[in-house]
């Protein structure tokens, strides 16, 4: 057979981010050469971002099942049961690459995308969270990125009217060339009205709803699957532009239609737009799909099939509608002034067929696109274990006032008020204790009820870098601890696994180690992973980010009369420290901020102790034995005590060992620990019950006065310290640089 001249050169294949081997597979599965549309579709579906080709086999190890799990990974978001017929639907997702290139739109569309994942499943979004990592504060790009990302998150969430209730922000030089923007959304649905993406039936109409399709974001998924170099700014056209107004209309319209029986299946158009949404729906339902691209609402004239299929224009949904309900769907979407069109139908061919201008422009089998996507077992090596540093071998500061001040004004500890005051935290009026931040977990009431969800995000990348396995355990344990601190039963997590280039064995080693550690903690707490995403290739010119498996945890507070925060401490309360203190300073904030070192093994996580201690603290909260609770993490006891003092507006006096290891006692970061403010008459019962349970508990000070004191160490007026802690970020953002 005479072959016509090839349309697809090796260069075109390479430009699509496909390897020669991957292209060979395409030729094999198709039995012919693909046309350009088909190649584009394969390239995005097989991108790291969409196919998880480097991570799939490792993600499969996660605990994903549990008593409260309604839907684990594999759908748009995870679904958990919170009793009374209510379900919580949640997920966290990265928008790292676009946010670095265009911070406002990158962050904004990250928020929009994660919200769509949640309301696609029938949930009204009730809370947003985020986990942000920026480069060192003095880096020339950092201020601009912070400013743009925060404005973008606020600009989107505030407009849509979903409160941004918490998050975390870190600065480290390891993120100078690749910032991380991880956004999480939590939604509320009825457990019997959850929507899924599997298309069903033959000949059922496929509807397109939302914004028109433009030329923005083409190959965004491919960009997110490659490293950056010096010319990354040229990728700006691959960043999408968000329209929160349309998103808000889309939420209301979809939720309105979901009250009827018109929707068979629904999927948002996220990464790889119309391509991945249609293929995922067809693949999950085991059907074929035929689309007529002439009917796709288009923002600009003369768009090609290739552009339409790969556009990542925002605020678009695809759905399979019950035959006979077409008019109902049109009416609802037109009421909300959204573009809506019937663009195709389900078929029994198992193929994706696209028509454009009366020509068939794509005809490929769906199974290889999704299920047969490459699945690599990339080589991975374990990092060399780091030496354990003992407090007694580390320099003890001679000026504790200065050390405390340095730590409380360090980038990772300083107040992030400048950021969170730009987020509407109160809209929907169910955010509990919403006026101030600094707590361990956000609390959001289930509307019209007396129960609430607690939500937190956490990760300590310096621990993961020092020891991926222990660090992975710690990320999960800290979210579990945060939820416990407010009195919630931790239920499940979502994760956002941000790493460098998986083709390098040392990066893959970090990835595999972190997952194994995380999974161990999930099992120990019966705390499954129900959703998440993986972001690899966070590298610039070969320099990878610190491994950052961000974890978002969700828990349930069954009775809002019984919760705690760090703000309730009262003059005269006794401070009790729960958990064992060895004075672990390896990989600590003290080490980096006071001794300017970042070495040493991170604190080990004793999961049994975590469980025992946490269950006890939760019980004390439920029995109303405590006025305030805070977990010990970055900066150890001293920082926890300061934060409790700030939140409660009253001073603290700590009294501890008088030997040479005060630095370890005050700033050590041993895990599984909590600081409790307890009224005098509860002290003995709290201590004796702990003893009976084999839990380490000791009195470490009192709540009183207006100073932050520790015997023989520091003594600073609370307001001086607070002012300095509050001033750091505003000063950074207003300063000239």
Q: Which residues are catalytic?
A: 49, 95
Q: Residue 422 Cβ, how far from other proteins at the closest point, in Å?
A: 5
Of the candidate residues 245, 599, 660, 720, the single one contacting other proteins (CB under 8 A): 245
Q: Residue 629 Cβ, how far from other proteins at the closest point, in Å?
A: 18
DSSP 3-state of 361: strand
Could you tell me whether strands 529-535 and 489-498 are parallel, antiparallel, or unpaired per DSSP bridges?
A: parallel
Could you tell me whether strands 351-356 and 180-190 are parallel, antiparallel, or unpaired per DSSP bridges?
A: unpaired
- Contacting other proteins within 647-686 (CB under 8 A): none
- Contacting other proteins within 322-381 (CB under 8 A): 336-337
- 6 touching other proteins, by CB under 8 A: no
Region binding other proteins by CB under 8 A among candidate stretches 136-144, 245-253, 611-619, 623-631: 245-253
CB-based contact 106:152 (threshold 8 Å): yes
* Cβ neighbours around 495 below 10 Å, total: 33
- 424 touching other proteins, by CB under 8 A: yes
Q: Quote the CA–CA distance of 109 and 97 in Å, as a whole number.
A: 12
Region binding other proteins by CB under 8 A among candidate stretches 153-161, 382-390, 478-486, 491-499: 153-161
- 428 touching other proteins, by CB under 8 A: yes
Output the DSSP codes for 682-704: HHHHHHHHHHHHT--EEEEEEE-
Kindly state the number of chain residues that form the binding site for other proteins, as judged by CB under 8 A.
Answer: 31
- 731 touching other proteins, by CB under 8 A: no
- 85 touching other proteins, by CB under 8 A: no
Region binding other proteins by CB under 8 A among candidate stretches 51-59, 149-157, 388-396, 551-559: 149-157
Contacts of 227 (CB under 8 A, 6+ apart): 501, 537, 539, 540, 541, 542
Q: Which one, 78 or 244, has the nearer CB to other proteins?
A: 244
Residue 392 DSSP symbol: G
Of the candidate residues 191, 432, 601, 727, the single one contacting other proteins (CB under 8 A): 432
Host H or E run for residue 641:
helix 636-648
Q: Which one, 40 or 244, has the nearer CB to other proteins?
A: 244
Of the candidate residues 445, 473, 618, 625, the single one contacting other proteins (CB under 8 A): 445
Region binding other proteins by CB under 8 A among candidate stretches 242-250, 505-513, 659-667, 705-713: 242-250
Is residue 204 exposed (0-12), middle (13-18) or buried (19+ Cβ within 10 Å)?
buried
- 159 touching other proteins, by CB under 8 A: yes
Region binding other proteins by CB under 8 A among candidate stretches 361-369, 432-440, 479-487, 626-634: 432-440
- 519 touching other proteins, by CB under 8 A: no
- 279 touching other proteins, by CB under 8 A: no
Q: Residue 303 Cβ, how far from other proteins at the closest point, in Å?
A: 24
Q: Which of 501, 498, 500, 509 is nearest to 535 (CA)?
A: 498
Contacts of 331 (CB under 8 A, 6+ apart): none
Q: Which one, 97 or 567, has the nearer CB to other proteins?
A: 567
Region binding other proteins by CB under 8 A among candidate stretches 356-364, 425-433, 495-503, 717-725: 425-433
Q: What share of the chain is helix, strand, coil (3-state, %, to 5)?
A: 35, 25, 40
* C-alpha distance across the termini of the chain, in Å: 66
Q: Residue 106 Cβ, how far from other proteins at the closest point, in Å?
A: 18
Of the candidate residues 55, 64, 158, 169, the single one contacting other proteins (CB under 8 A): 158
Radius of gyration of the chain measured on its C-alpha atoms: 26
Backbone φ and ψ of 104, nearest 5°: -65, -55
Q: Quote the CA–CA distance of 240 and 156 in Å, as a whole number.
A: 13
Could you tell me whether strands 288-292 and 180-190 are parallel, antiparallel, or unpaired per DSSP bridges?
A: unpaired
- Contacting other proteins within 552-581 (CB under 8 A): 560
Q: Which one, 426 or 570, has the nearer CB to other proteins?
A: 426
DSSP 3-state of 520: helix
- 155 touching other proteins, by CB under 8 A: yes
- 433 touching other proteins, by CB under 8 A: yes
3-state secondary structure 571-616: CCCEEEEECCCCCCCCCCHHHHHCCCCCCCCCCCCCHHHHHHHHHH
Q: Residue 168 Cβ, how far from other proteins at the closest point, in Å?
A: 18
Beta strands in 191-307 (DSSP E): 205-210, 263-268, 288-292
Of the candidate residues 148, 244, 547, 558, the single one contacting other proteins (CB under 8 A): 244
DSSP 3-state of 365: strand
- 627 touching other proteins, by CB under 8 A: no
Q: Which one, 251 or 321, has the nearer CB to other proteins?
A: 251
Of the candidate residues 168, 243, 283, 606, the single one contacting other proteins (CB under 8 A): 243
Q: Which one, 428 or 595, has the nearer CB to other proteins?
A: 428
- 421 touching other proteins, by CB under 8 A: yes
Q: Which one, 233 or 245, has the nearer CB to other proteins?
A: 245
CB-based contact 511:474 (threshold 8 Å): no
State both tokens at 354: 């696209």
- 437 touching other proteins, by CB under 8 A: no
Region binding other proteins by CB under 8 A among candidate stretches 414-422, 575-583, 593-601, 605-613: 414-422
Residue 712 DSSP symbol: T
CB-based contact 518:481 (threshold 8 Å): no
Q: Residue 155 Cβ, how far from other proteins at the closest point, in Å?
A: 8
State both tokens at 716: 């600073």
Of the candidate residues 180, 249, 529, 591, the single one contacting other proteins (CB under 8 A): 249
Q: 321 forms bridges with which residues in the sheet?
A: 263
Q: Which one, 97 or 425, has the nearer CB to other proteins?
A: 425
Q: Residue 556 Cβ, how far from other proteins at the closest point, in Å?
A: 16
Of the candidate residues 160, 188, 274, 545, the single one contacting other proteins (CB under 8 A): 160
Give the side-chain half-sphere CA count within 13 A for 138.
Answer: 1
Residues lying near other proteins in the complex (CB under 8 A) are found at: 151, 154-155, 158-161, 243-246, 248-249, 336-337, 420-429, 432-435, 445, 560
């Amino acid at each position: 057979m005479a072959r016509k001249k090839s349309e697809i050169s090796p260069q075109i294949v390479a430009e699509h981010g496909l390897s020669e081997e991957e292209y060979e597979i395409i030729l094999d599965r198709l039995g012919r050469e693909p046309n350009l549309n088909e190649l584009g579709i394969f390239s995005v579906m097989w991108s790291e971002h969409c196919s998880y080709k480097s991570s799939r086999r490792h993600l499969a190890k996660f605990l994903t099942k549990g008593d409260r799990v309604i839907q684990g990974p594999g759908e748009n978001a995870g679904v958990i049961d919170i009793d009374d017929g209510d379900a919580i639907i949640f997920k966290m997702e990265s928008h790292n690459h676009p946010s670095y290139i265009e911070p406002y739109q990158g962050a904004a569309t990250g928020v929009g995308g994660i919200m769509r994942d949640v309301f696609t499943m029938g949930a009204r979004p009730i809370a947003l969270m985020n986990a942000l990592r920026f480069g060192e504060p003095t880096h020339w790009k950092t201020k601009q990125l912070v400013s743009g990302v925060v404005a973008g998150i606020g600009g989107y969430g505030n407009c849509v009217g979903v409160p941004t209730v918490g998050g975390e922000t870190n600065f480290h030089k390891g993120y100078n060339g690749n910032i991380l923007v991880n956004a999480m959304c939590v939604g509320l649905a009825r457990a019997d009205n959850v929507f899924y993406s599997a298309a069903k039936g033959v000949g059922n109409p496929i509807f397109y709803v939302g914004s028109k399709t433009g030329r923005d974001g083409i190959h965004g998924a491919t960009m997110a699957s490659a490293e950056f170099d010096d010319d990354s700014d040229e990728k700006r056209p691959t960043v999408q532009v968000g329209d929160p107004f349309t998103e808000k209309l889309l939420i209301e319209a979809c939720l309105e239609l979901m009250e009827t029986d018109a929707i068979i299946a629904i999927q948002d158009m996220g990464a790889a737009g119309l391509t991945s949404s249609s293929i995922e729906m067809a693949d999950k339902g085991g059907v074929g799909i035929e689309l007529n691209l002439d009917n796709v609402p288009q923002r600009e004239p003369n768009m090609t099939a290739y552009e339409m299929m790969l556009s990542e224009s925002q605020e678009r949904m695809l759905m399979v509608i019950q035959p006979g309900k077409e008019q109902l769907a049109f009416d609802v979407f037109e009421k909300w002034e959204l573009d809506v069109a019937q663009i195709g139908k389900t078929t029994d061919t198992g193929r994706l067929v696209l028509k454009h201008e009366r020509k068939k422009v794509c005809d490929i089998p769906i199974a290889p696109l999704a299920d047969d996507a490459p699945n690599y077992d990339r080589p991975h090596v374990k990092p060399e274990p780091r030496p354990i540093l003992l407090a007694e071998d580390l320099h003890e500061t001679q000026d504790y006032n200065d050390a405390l001040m340095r730590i409380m004004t360090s980038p990772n500890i300083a107040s992030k008020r400048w950021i969170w005051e730009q987020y509407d935290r109160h809209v929907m009026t169910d955010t509990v204790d919403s006026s101030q931040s600094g707590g361990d977990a956000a609390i959001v009431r289930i509307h019209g009820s007396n129960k609430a969800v607690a939500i937190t995000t956490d990760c300590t990348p310096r621990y993961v870098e020092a020891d991926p396995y222990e660090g992975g355990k710690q990320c999960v344990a800290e979210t579990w601890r945060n939820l416990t601190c407010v009195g919630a039963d931790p239920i499940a997590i979502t994760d956002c696994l941000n790493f460098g280039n998986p083709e390098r064995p040392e990066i893959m080693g970090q990835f595999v180690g972190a997952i194994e550690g995380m999974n161990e903690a999930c099992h120990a707490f019966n705390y499954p992973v129900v959703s998440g995403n993986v972001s690899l290739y966070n590298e610039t010119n070969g320099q990878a980010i610190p491994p950052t498996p961000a974890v978002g945890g969700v828990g349930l507070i069954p009775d809002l009369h019984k919760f705690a925060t760090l703000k309730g401490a009262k003059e005269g309360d006794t401070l009790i420290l729960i958990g064992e203190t060895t004075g672990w300073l390896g990989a600590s904030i003290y080490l980096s901020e006071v001794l300017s070192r970042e070495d040493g093994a991170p604190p080990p996580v004793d999961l049994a102790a975590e469980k025992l201690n946490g269950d006890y603290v939760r019980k004390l909260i439920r029995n109303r034995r405590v006025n305030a609770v805070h977990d010990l993490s970055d900066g150890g006891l001293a920082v926890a005590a300061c934060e409790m003092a700030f939140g409660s507006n009253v001073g603290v006096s700590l009294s501890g060992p008088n030997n040479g290891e005060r630095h370890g006692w005050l700033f050590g970061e041993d895990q599984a620990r909590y600081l409790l403010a307890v009224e005098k008459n509860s002290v003995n019962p709290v201590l004796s019950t702990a003893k009976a349970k084999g839990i380490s508990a000791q009195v470490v000070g009192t709540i009183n006065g207006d100073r932050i004191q520790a015997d023989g160490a520091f003594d600073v007026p609370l307001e001086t310290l607070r002012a300095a802690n509050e001033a750091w970020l505003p000063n950074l953002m207003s300063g000239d640089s």
